[in-house]
Each structure stands twice: as C-alpha cells, then as structure tokens.
Amino acid sequence: MTVTTTTHLNFAGTARAALDFYAEVFGGTVTAATYGDFGMPADAPGADKVVFGQIAGGAIALMAYDIPGATDASAGVTRRENGVTITDRPFFQSLRASSLDELTGYWEALAVGATVVEPLAASAWSAGFGMLTDRFGVTWVLDVA
C-alpha cells in the first residue's frame, strides 16, 4: 500500500512557466500535457494550456495545471459549471495511490458531505481519477499512479 500527497497548484494560464521556474529552483524534471494533447482541437482557446503538469526527481514533488477558461482576473472566484458551483482555488491537494482499490477507499471516505467535481473514473492518464471538494472546502484530486 503506497499513498502520497502532493501540492497541486492552479494557475490562470501560467502553469508551464511556473513549473519551469520551480524546476530551476528545486531541480527535477518537468512533465506537462496540454488540453490539446488530450483531444481539445488545437485551434480552440486554451488548447495550449497545461491540463496536467508535474515536477519529479528534485527536492520537491509538485503538480500544476491551468484552470480552464481562467484569466488572472478570474482565478480564485466562484463559478458555475455543468450545474455545479466551483470555487477556483490557488491549490488542490493531490492524493495518489498505487491501486484503484486503495484509491476508492479514500474517495468514499472523503466524498461524505463533499461536492464531487469529477466523479472517480478511468481517464486518459490513469486507471482512476476524480476530484471533489470536501465538507471543509479543501479540493482533492485523487488518482492512481
């Protein structure tokens, strides 16, 4: 059983630059995938923004992404998306497990009284990915390594 937590920073279009900067400061390798890499049409606004980014192998582990449709002026505000009220925050807490069974247990416990942003399900990059804001207002990103 292996579980880790990693700070997941949220940006309004500057995730790649931030990841590059933090890699210079702390060392490690940046991995970044854009919304376009996961199927958004290349000419769509925001297709070049980071949907999944991380630094690994340095002094710290860090994850980051660009909030869809956010600008510097809109980051950190409450919005409605697909009928759900979402408050964009400058960070998420990321919880990564080594198996879907292990992750599911944590998901079920955190989901009590939570607002589910993305249901736990298989994704293009993981056997299980989900996002929720717990009853204390902390947004958790959970996935299988």
Taking only the tens place, the pLDDT of each residue in 60-92 is: 899 999 988 776 655 555 667 677 666 666 678
Residue 24: give the domain boundaries: 3-144
Strand partners, 118: 131
Judged against a pLDDT cut of 80, whether residue 122 lies above it is answered with yes
Q: Token match 């400061």: residue?
A: 25
User: Is 102's pLDDT higher than 70?
Assistant: yes
Query: CATH number for the domain including 109?
Result: 3.10.180.10
Most confidently predicted of 40-54, 58-72, 75-89, 130-144: 40-54
Domain count of the fold of the chain:
1
**Between 40 and 84, where is the model more confident?**
40
Return the exposure string of 105-125: e unless at least 16 CB atoms fall within 10 Å of the residue's CB, then b.
ebbeebbeebbebeebeeeee
Query: Cα dihedral angle (90, 13, 46, 87), rounded to 10 degrees?
Result: 20
